[in-house]
Amino acid sequence: MHVLIIGAAGMIGRKLTTRLVADRGLGGQEITALTLVDVIAPQAPAGFSGRVATEALDLSAPGAAARSIAGRPDMIFHLAAIVSGEAEADFEKGYRINLDGTRALFEAIRQEGTRQPYAPRVVFTSSIAVFGAPFPEAIGDEFFCTPLTSYGTQKAIDELLLADYSRRGFFDGIGIRLPTICIRPGAPNKAASGFFSNILREPLSGQEAVLPVGEDVRHWHASPRAAVGFLLHAATLDTKPLGARRNLTMPGLSATVGEQIAALRKVAGDKAANLIRREPDATIAAIVAGWPRNFDPRRAIALGFRAERSFEDIIRVHIEDELGGKLPV
Amino acid sequence: MHVLIIGAAGMIGRKLTTRLVADRGLGGQEITALTLVDVIAPQAPAGFSGRVATEALDLSAPGAAARSIAGRPDMIFHLAAIVSGEAEADFEKGYRINLDGTRALFEAIRQEGTRQPYAPRVVFTSSIAVFGAPFPEAIGDEFFCTPLTSYGTQKAIDELLLADYSRRGFFDGIGIRLPTICIRPGAPNKAASGFFSNILREPLSGQEAVLPVGEDVRHWHASPRAAVGFLLHAATLDTKPLGARRNLTMPGLSATVGEQIAALRKVAGDKAANLIRREPDATIAAIVAGWPRNFDPRRAIALGFRAERSFEDIIRVHIEDELGGKLPV
């Protein structure tokens, strides 16, 4: 099996690559070739015995999408996107990368199929940003997409294209709407959502973190490990039961900031929890107020997708996967 | 006020033009200029005292969209599209006209605004084809878009673009999802939906018509006059209450074929109703089975959009507007 990962240099892309190499296969099939693509050339993974190609490609550049699938991969993970903040700040770049780039990939697959039959599985990472407030108490699987950002608009359009190209038989697509990934490894960043991870990751390493919103703020979370699990499950499940409804809200954990802090206190003690400094920020509070808080993702659960059930679990995943299994003393 | 109609040569475009010329204005403002665009040059309307320009333009051709708005119209009606059947038969043409053409228009408006502030009202005709079965008993305003045709996909994408461009302030857009238009004037056509009009229009003129489905088939209808009314209301209403949710399912009348025939019998007698010949067609029945049957369009009704309340009314509109107010003896 030949696997292509587009967006392989990103956080999820790297974790997915590591997992595929560790598993040596996908859905019972051996992975014999791995193509890793991103706007900067991804690192080739250590310990993989098959063929590896890495390439720096911008899907929206002429010919790039065709080039990315020239090896006719059987499985395509399309994770590449510019993030919400950048897509909002740079309108043209957002549409170029997040819409035109994705459409170019889908078109390249279709065109390849006109030359010789070709219909790979395509797993596309969408986002809960396809939804925009006001929301019901829990957003159901049939709730409409009215994004409040250009990023969410671009993802919602990609979902529609994916469903139509799949219906036409050009590929076998599935779109998965990821929750906010928590705990994101790495340094604190300036994304409006950054604090959800910062207030756990930093104290777990003995560092201070800033909380810009109230403890009653509720949001929808899953760990990086759960996200990789979603991707693998989406890659291997039977897509027939999806019918024409190819885009799924992934399961997650709805939790308040207060519940996050209580879990931190339980796992790492008062000393860690006391490293959170409250610095209310009205701008961030206003942005976050428009975000989804809770979902009722029955279809994905019925199809076997699984996320964490408690924030202690989310914290333990971080300790195991990022901190070598132990808290710093 | 300068009004641009794109798709002015089509049935609704011509009726809208006629109505605007008869009204001499829109929302209390005089119409001083009228630009009529379509893939074939529309006819200039008789009896209009303002400036008229007509032009044959394909929005998806390079430069055409910019050209269409070069006169900086205050009000843009974008009705142009290739129909469902053609968009399904010709994948590339469908996306080129229905997606790229519309996006080119939106982009041309945005670009014009970068030169000199410009934010016209844009009224876009979407379709109930943005919805795909299975459906609830009546489709509510928050039901998701999972189209089962490329045409419906293209319209759903256009809706998302319209909402994002409006949110950004590039224009003041409103998308209206038209019901199936009944009674369509003109000759019977081969559209799968054609029979809904044929079985009324033909008998009203003393001609036979073919009914390919059972009398229990339920569908969602509005007259051409109601459709023009939707367009005028969308052009003049206050868009502030729409918020970011700029696309609305229009009101209509949910009726079975049996109810259509009963109304025909009531208005035009047994002789007319007996001109309907039953010739079941499994292919058409299967297509129609995937179509929406009923809606609960509360938002549009609250905003003042109005459709017919009975099929007798729909038939009377046809007699008044197409048959000079009388049935042929």
* pLDDT of A81 strictly over 90: yes
Q: Are B290 and B132 in contact (CB under 8 A)?
A: yes
- State how far the Cα of A211 lies from the Cα of A280, in Å rounded to an integer: 7
- Does the beta-carbon distance from A244 to B132 stay under 8 Å? yes
Question: Is A317 within a domain?
Answer: no
With an 8 Å Cβ cutoff, the interface of chain B facing chain A consists of 91, 132, 141-148, 150, 153, 156-157, 160-161, 163-164, 167-168, 244-245
Q: Hey, what are B104's tokens?
A: 């080119």
Please tell me the distance in Å from A164's CA to the nearest CA on chain B: 6
CB contact under 8 A, A160 and B153: yes
Q: Which residues of B are catalytically annotated? A: 151
pLDDT greater than 80 at residue A34: yes
Has residue A202 been placed in a domain? no
Assess if residue B329 is contained within a domain. Answer: no
Domain encompassing residue A168: 2-178+224-249
- Report pLDDT digits (tens) over B57-104: 999 999 999 999 999 999 999 999 998 889 999 999 999 999 999 999
Residue A329: is its pLDDT beyond 80? no
pLDDT on residue B327 = 85
Chain A residues with CB under 8 Å of a chain B CB are: 91, 132, 141-148, 150, 153, 156-157, 160-161, 163-164, 167-168, 244-245
- Angle, CA of B100, B132 and B222, to the nearest 5°: 85
Q: How many CA atoms lie within 13 A of B199 on its CB side?
A: 26
Q: What is the mean pLDDT of residues A101-106?
A: 98
Q: Any idea what DSSP says for residue B118?
A: -
CB contact under 8 A, B157 and A160: yes
| DSSP summary character for residue B129 | G
Q: How confident is the model at residue A194 (pLDDT cuts 50, 70, 90)?
A: very high
Judge whether B297 and B178 are in contact, CB under 8 Å.
no
Please state, as a whole number, how many other Cβ atoms lie within 10 Å of the Cβ of residue A126.
24
SS3 B255: strand
User: Which residues of chain A does B150 touch, with a Cβ-Cβ cutoff of 8 Å?
Assistant: 164, 168
What number of H helices and E strands is found in chain B?
12, 16
Confidence class of residue B189 from pLDDT cuts 50, 70 and 90? confident
pLDDT of residue B39: 95
The answer to whether A179 and A220 have CB atoms below 8 angstroms apart is: yes
| Alpha-carbon span B42 to B55, nearest angstrom | 7
Fill in the amino acid letter for A137.
E
> The dihedral of CA B130, B134, B139, B143: what is its sign?
negative
Distances in Å between the Cα of A30 and the Cα atoms of A20, A316, B199 are 10, 30, 60
* Six-digit token string for B35: 């630009």
The proportion of chain A whose per-residue pLDDT surpasses 90, expressed as a percent, equals 93
Q: How many domains would you assign to chain B?
A: 1
Q: Work out the average pLDDT over B195-199.
A: 97
* Catalytic annotation, residues of A: 151
Over range A158-175, report the average pLDDT: 98
- Exposed, middle or buried by CB within 10 Å (0-12, 13-18, 19+), for B4? buried
Residue B65 and residue B43: Cα distance in Å, rounded?
20
Distances (CA, A) of A320 to A299, A313, A317: 30, 10, 5
Task: State in Å, rounded, how far the first CA of chain A is from the last one.
Answer: 44
Which helix (DSSP H) or strand (DSSP E) does residue A314 occupy? helix A311-322
Q: What is the DSSP letter of B206?
A: T
Q: Do A167 and B146 touch (CB under 8 A)?
A: no
B90: chain A residues, CB-CB within 8 Å: none
Instruction: Evaluate whether residue B124 is within a structural domain.
Output: yes
Report in angstroms the alpha-carbon separations of B142 from A127, A294, B200: 19, 17, 33
Query: Cis peptide leading into B183, omega within 30 of 0?
Result: yes
Closest-CA distance, B192 to chain A, in angstroms, reads 19
Within a domain: residue B115?
yes
Nearest to B292 by CA among B113, B128, B86: B128
**Partner-chain residue, chosen from B143, B147, B148, that has the shortest CB–CB distance to A144:** B143
Rounded Cα distance between A280 and A217, Å, is 12
Contact at CB, B148 and A91, closer than 8 angstroms: no
In total, the C-beta contacts within 8 angstroms joining chain A to chain B are 54
Closest-CA distance of chain A to residue B29, Å: 32
Q: Name every chain A residue with its beta carbon within 8 A of the beta carbon of B145.
A: 144-145, 160
Share of chain B above pLDDT 70, in %: 99
Q: Which is it for strands B29-30 and B75-78: parallel, antiparallel or unpaired?
A: unpaired
- The C-alpha atoms of residue A212 and residue A50 are separated, in whole angstroms, by 47
Q: Which of A328, A198, A217 is nearest to A275 (CA)?
A: A198
Tell me the pLDDT of chain B averaged across its residues: 96
Structure confidence at residue B329 as a pLDDT band (50, 70, 90): low
Instruction: Give pLDDT tens digits for B223-278.
Output: 999 999 999 999 999 999 999 999 999 999 999 999 999 999 999 999 999 999 99
DSSP code of A241? G
* Residue A323 confidence (pLDDT) above 70: yes
- For residue B34, is it within any domain? yes
Find the CB nearest B142 among A143, A148, A245. A143
* Type of residue numbered B16: L
* C-beta of residue A314 within 8 angstroms of C-beta of residue A221: yes
What are the distances in angstroms from CA A249 to CA A246, A278, B226?
Answer: 10, 32, 38
> Residue B192: is its pLDDT beyond 90?
no
pLDDT at A146 over 70: yes
Count of CB atoms situated within 10 Å of the CB of B274 = 11
Residues of B in contact with A94 (CB under 8 A): none
ipTM over 0.85: yes
Round to whole Å and give the CA distance between B254 and B252.
7
For B278-311, give one letter per residue: b (16+ CB within 10 A) or e.
eeeeeebeebbeebbbbbbbebbbebebebbeeb
Work out the pLDDT band at A290, boundaries 50, 70, 90. confident
Cα A314 to the chain's mean position, in Å? 16
Of B110, B108, B86, B112, nearest to B98 by C-alpha is B86
CA of A293, closest CA in chain B: separation in Å?
17
Q: Is the pLDDT of residue B210 over 90?
A: yes
d(CA A260, CA A264): 6
In a domain, B112, yes or no: yes
Which CATH number does the domain housing residue A142 bear? 3.40.50.720
pLDDT of residue A187: 86
Backbone angles phi, psi at A108, to 5 degrees: -60, -40
Asked whether residue A198 is domain-assigned, the answer is no
